[in-house]
Amino acid sequence: MCSRGEGILQDNKEAVKWYRLSAEQGISGAQSNLGLMYEKGCGVEQNYIEAHKWFNIAGMNGNKIGGKNTAIIEKKMLVGQIAIAVGLARKWKK
């Protein structure tokens, strides 16, 4: 999803900014894409907990890819990390 390179790094940070703004407005595609940015470490520090949170939120909002990615990323995480991510997603949805 992301590329490496000096100009690309700035583009990734800009993409994260816009995905986050859209995700916070409830746009499930942006939520899923923001999860991917966190999973891959594109424009943000790699963070599986944040990735899971956003995939989970996207899935709860009907985004099938987000739902699938939640299950995929769980294979890379510890049980405690998953519990934290689920808690963050629930808190965000309130």
> In the chain, where are the structural domains located?
6-93
Specify whether the CB–CB gap between 79 and 43 falls below 8 A: no
Specify whether the CB–CB gap between 61 and 31 falls below 8 A: yes
Contacts of 89 (CB under 8 A, 6+ apart): 52, 53, 54, 56, 57, 60
Residue-wise pLDDT tens digits, 8-29? 678 999 999 999 999 999 999 9
Specify whether the CB–CB gap between 37 and 44 falls below 8 A: yes
pTM of the model: 0.91
Confidence of residue 94 (pLDDT cuts 50, 70, 90): confident
